C-alpha cells in the first residue's frame, strides 16, 4: 500500500524542530503516542555534528509504517504534540504551522480532528490542573487514555472508567468528603455529584425539569461506561471478552470526558450551575 502521508507533510512535521522543541521533546512525544523513537546521534561519516531534533523526527517517521491507518493516527497525535510545543516557544513562526495544516489537509487529515477525543483530553488535563490542588491521578489516567487511542478498544474503555473514578475521588477530596476505596463507580459518582450540588435530586432554577433531565441522563452514562468495562474492557485480567467496535470505545471515552469536564467546571466555579 502507498503511504497515507506525503513527503511534504512529513517534512512539515520535521520542520517543527528547533526553538523549544528538542530531541528530548521528540522522544517524549513519540513514546506518549506509541511510536518507535529513532534518535539522531549526530555522527556523519568521519565528521561530527550536534544531534538534531529535526533529523530525529525524520528518522522516527521513516521508521513508521505510513500505510497503516493506526500508525498514521499515532503520527497525527505526535504532530499535534510537537505543534503545541513549537507554538508555545519563543521562536515560533506561524507560517510553519500553517504549512503543516495545509499539507495535512492536502492529504485528507487535520491537525485537530473534529470529534477526536485527543483535543478533549488536552482540555480536561488543563481544567484538572486549575480546579484541583492535586490533579496527578487524573493526569495519569488521561495519559493512559491517550495511549489507548486509536487501536486498543478494551484498554480505552478501561481507562475511561478509571478516569471517572479518579475524577469522582478528586472531587470528594476537594470538598473534604471521605473517600472509600471500596466504593464502585455508581456510588462514587453519586457522592461526588452530591458534594458539588449537581445530583439530579438537587437540580434548581427556573428550568428545573429540563435541568433534571440533562443531569438524569449524564450521570447514568458513567454507570454504563463502568458496566461496559466489566463486560468488554481490559480489567480483571479477562480473556475471551466480546469484541466492541472502536467507535464504541471512543464513545465511552467521550462520555467519561463529558462527565469529568462538567464536574471539574463546577468545582472551579465553586457553586452548582442554575438554568
Taking residues 5-27, what's their average pLDDT?
Answer: 89
The β-bridge partners of 21 are 18
Please give the distance of CA 104 from its chain centroid, rounded to a whole number. 20
Half-sphere exposure of 47 (CA within 13 A, CB side): 4
End-to-end CA distance of the chain: 53
CA distance readout (Å), 120 to 15, 33, 134, 208: 26, 16, 20, 28
Residue 114 has pLDDT above 50, yes or no: no
Residue 236 has pLDDT above 50, yes or no: no
Residue scoring higher pLDDT (247 or 63): 63
Taking residues 63-82, what's their average pLDDT?
Answer: 86
Structure confidence at residue 12 (pLDDT)? 95
The string of DSSP letters for 71-117 reads: HHHHHHHHHHHHHHHHHHSTT--HHHHHHHHHHHHHTT--SS-TT-H
Structure confidence at residue 180 (pLDDT)? 87
CATH class for the region spanning 117-269: mainly alpha
Taking residues 222-243, what's their average pLDDT?
Answer: 70
Residue 267 has pLDDT above 80, yes or no: yes
- Per cent of the chain over pLDDT 90 is 23
* Cα–Cα dist 43/22, whole Å: 17
Structure confidence at residue 198 (pLDDT)? 87
Structure confidence at residue 211 (pLDDT)? 77
171 within 8 A of 270, measured Cβ to Cβ:
no
Confidence of residue 62 (pLDDT cuts 50, 70, 90): very high
* Cα–Cα dist 57/27, whole Å: 9
- Cell numbers that stand for 95 in this block: 507560517
Structure confidence at residue 275 (pLDDT)? 46
Structure confidence at residue 151 (pLDDT)? 64
Residues 137-149: tens digit of each pLDDT: 887 787 777 777 6
- Cell numbers that stand for 229 in this block: 468495562
Structure confidence at residue 188 (pLDDT)? 94
DSSP assigned state of 200:
G
Q: Which residue has the cell 488521561?
A: 142
Q: What does the H/E/C string look like for 38-54?
A: CCCCCEECCEECCCCHH
Residues 157-195: tens digit of each pLDDT: 888 898 899 899 989 988 889 988 889 999 999 999 999
Structure confidence at residue 205 (pLDDT)? 66
* Cα–Cα dist 254/14, whole Å: 31
Taking residues 16-21, what's their average pLDDT?
Answer: 80
* Cα–Cα dist 24/43, whole Å: 18
Structure confidence at residue 84 (pLDDT)? 87
Structure confidence at residue 243 (pLDDT)? 66
Residue 142: other Cβ atoms inside 10 A? 23
- Cell numbers that stand for 131 in this block: 480546579
DSSP 3-state assignment of 21? strand
* Cα–Cα dist 33/82, whole Å: 12
Amino acid at each position: 500500500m502507498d503511504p497515507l502521508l506525503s513527503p511534504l507533510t512529513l517534512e512539515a512535521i520535521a520542520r517543527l524542530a528547533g526553538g523549544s522543541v528538542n530531541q528530548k521533546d521528540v522522544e517524549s512525544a513519540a513514546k506518549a503516542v506509541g511510536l518507535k523513537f529513532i534518535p539522531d546521534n549526530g555522527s556523519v561519516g568521519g565528521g561530527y555534528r550536534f544531534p538534531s531534533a529535526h533529523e530525529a523526527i525524520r528518522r522516527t517517521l521513516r521508521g513508521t509504517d505510513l500505510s497503516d491507518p493506526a500508525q498514521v493516527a499515532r503520527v497525527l497525535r505526535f504532530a499535534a504534540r510537537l505543534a503545541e510545543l513549537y507554538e508555545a516557544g519563543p521562536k515560533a513562526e506561524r507560517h510553519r504551522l500553517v504549512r503543516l495544516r495545509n499539507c495535512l489537509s492536502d492529504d485528507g487529515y487535520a491537525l485537530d480532528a473534529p470529534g477526536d477525543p485527543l483535543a478533549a483530553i488536552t482540555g480536561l488535563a488543563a481544567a484538572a490542573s486549575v480546579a484541583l490542588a492535586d490533579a496527578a491521578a487524573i493526569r495519569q489516567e488521561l495519559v493512559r487514555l491517550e495511549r489507548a487511542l486509536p487501536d486498543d478498544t478494551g484498554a480505552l474503555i478501561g481507562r475511561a472508567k478509571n478516569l471517572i473514578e479518579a475524577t469522582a475521588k478528586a472531587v470528594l477530596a476537594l470538598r473534604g468528603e471521605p473517600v472509600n476505596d471500596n466504593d464502585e463507580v455508581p456510588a462514587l459518582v453519586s457522592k461526588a455529584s452530591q458534594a458539588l450540588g449537581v445530583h439530579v435530586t438537587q437540580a434548581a432554577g427556573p428550568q428545573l425539569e429540563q435541568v433534571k433531565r440533562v443531569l438524569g441522563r449524564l450521570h447514568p452514562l458513567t454507570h454504563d461506561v463502568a458496566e461496559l468495562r466489566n463486560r468488554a474492557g481490559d480489567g480483571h485480567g479477562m480473556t475471551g471478552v466480546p469484541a466492541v467496535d472502536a467507535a464504541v470505545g471512543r464513545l465511552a471515552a467521550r462520555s467519561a470526558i463529558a462527565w469529568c469536564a462538567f464536574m471539574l467546571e463546577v468545582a472551579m466555579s465553586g457553586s452548582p450551575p442554575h438554568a
